[in-house]
Amino acid sequence: MKRSSGVRLCATVAVGALSLALITDCSDGGSKDAGDGKGGEAGQPAAKALSAAELKKLILAKGDVTGYKVEAVQGGTPAKSAVKADDAQCGPLLRVMTGIAPGDAATETNRTVQEDKKDPTDDATSMADLTDGKFEDALKDSMDRDTTVVVLSSYDGDGAEKAMRSVSDAVKACAGGFTGDQAGDRAKFAKVAEEKSSGTGDASVAFAATSDMEDGDTAPVHVQVVRHGNNLAPYTTVNIGAMMAEKAYSVPGAVVTAQAAKLK
């Protein structure tokens, strides 16, 4: 890949809105039971959603994940009404990849969790002074870090099970790809493929959505959604350096494990 095409791919990933919450730094298919949509055992009181204050105490915070920085999502999160798939059945996938909880969450919050490692360009005199080949390598290395938006949401009654089921059903229904609007930016995904989930929580589903750049380039986004009782924890991960190098990556297990530990 030439220097100009490397810069172009990074820019295309951004304007293509793979996930509005993730590109600010530019810088048995394996799932557990996704939930049966029922509200709990007979005779048991309906689940009550956590308050916003309770949820914020449970979302990942600074120091919770070794080797990662935890920060507020830059730029905020768009309104759910501004994120809409052309096929409504694919809406839960598009919302999760935009940092929005699926279904009808009573409360929700989110954080950006980014792999914390030294930027290889820190030792370079100037990126502009590098030759094309070295510039491309430095650009890939500097962006080769997993960046995950973690959304934590809580639901009343059987809302979490229903939301989980909507994601699981959408993974299957939208396998051939889908299009939609993310707060004014068009998103086009060529395919959606179920992946092996971590197996944490009461139910989980994982998938990769491959973005179609319409110029021969594609870029995968990896997502995992885990249910813990009446709470959901979706994780959406991008690694632009890995995309540019056509290197495999996934939702970091350390992030999923750390968030699961706070929800026990």
pLDDT digits (tens, 9 = 90+) for 206-232: 999 998 876 777 889 999 999 999 999
Secondary structure tally for the chain: helices H, strands E: 7, 9
Please answer whether residues 254 and 66 qualify as being in contact, where contact means their C-beta atoms are separated by less than 8 angstroms: yes
pLDDT digits (tens, 9 = 90+) for 107-138: 999 999 999 977 655 555 555 565 555 655 66
Q: What separation, in Å, do the N-terminal and C-terminal C-alpha atoms of the chain show? A: 46
pLDDT higher than 60, residue 36:
no
pLDDT higher than 50, residue 160:
yes
Please answer whether residues 107 and 152 qualify as being in contact, where contact means their C-beta atoms are separated by less than 8 angstroms: no
Nearby residues of 139 by Cβ (< 8 Å), 6 or more positions away:
6, 7, 10, 127, 241, 244
Nearest partner of 201 among 134, 135, 259, judged by Cα:
259
pTM for this predicted structure: 0.82
Average pLDDT over residues 52-64: 97
Please answer whether residues 83 and 154 qualify as being in contact, where contact means their C-beta atoms are separated by less than 8 angstroms: no
What is the residue-wise DSSP string for 156-212? Answer: STTHHHHHHHHHHHHHHHTTT-EEEEETTEEEEEEEEEEE-----SSEEEEEEEEEE
pLDDT higher than 60, residue 54:
yes
- H/E element holding 2? none
Please answer whether residues 20 and 189 qualify as being in contact, where contact means their C-beta atoms are separated by less than 8 angstroms: no
**Over pLDDT 70: what percentage of the chain?**
73
- Least confident segment among 13-27, 159-173, 204-218, 249-263: 13-27
Nearest partner of 164 among 257, 105, 109, 227, judged by Cα:
227
Cα 221 to Cα 76: distance, rounded to the nearest angstrom: 20
Cα 102 to Cα 92: distance, rounded to the nearest angstrom: 5
Name the token pair of 153.
């949401």
DSSP 20: T
pLDDT higher than 80, residue 257:
yes
Average pLDDT over residues 57-74: 95
The pLDDT value recorded for residue 260 is 97
Give the mean pLDDT of the chain.
82
